[in-house]
Amino acid sequence: MKPLIILLTVFAVTFLIIKILSGNYEWTLSGRIAMSAMLLFTAIGHFMFTKGMSLMIPDCIPLKTAIVYLTGAVEIILAIGILLPNYQILTGWLLIIFLLLVLPANIYASMKHIDYQKATFDGNGLPYLWIRIPLQIVFLVWTYFSTIYK
């Protein structure tokens, strides 16, 4: 839920600031700035909660810690890329692919009741997916309309 709060708050603030400063409604720019802020926020989690996020990856996959660090770095790169006009469309498509690829980790974590912040197995479990899957859809649609759609 925190990523959604960051996404919406940053969007509202930047939307108003841009309107006041330029006199224009720049919803796609505000959307990209908000998504960038959200990605930076979630990337920090990869470095702060590495052990718990490693639990979100099935045991059959090696190098879990490296994958967590790598996906955190990818989020930072994507956060920068969607702000660069020459790269925003490509980055938008890459972000959509990334969001689709990480969804199984969220499903796995819910099935295993993983609390990634505490690195324990007493998380919310499957009811979390009632929030997470629609939230992932919001992120996908947000990305499409703020970076790709013209």
pLDDT score recorded for residue 138:
96
Query: Per-residue pLDDT for 128 more than 90?
Result: no
Query: Per-residue pLDDT for 70 more than 80?
Result: yes
Query: Per-residue pLDDT for 150 more than 80?
Result: no
Q: What are the pLDDT digits (tens) for 23-41?
A: 999 999 999 999 999 999 9
pLDDT score recorded for residue 83:
98
- Return mean pLDDT, the chain: 95
Q: Residue range 77-89: average pLDDT? A: 97
- Does pTM surpass 0.85? yes
Give the confidence band of 80 by pLDDT, cuts at 50, 70, 90: very high
Torsion over CA of 52, 130, 76 and 53, rounded to 10 degrees?
10
Residue 92, C-beta contacts closer than 8 angstroms, at least 6 positions apart: 82, 143, 144, 146, 147, 148
What are the domain boundaries of the chain? 2-148
Q: Does residue 58 contact residue 108 with C-beta atoms inside 8 Å?
A: yes
Q: Residue range 67-78: average pLDDT? A: 98
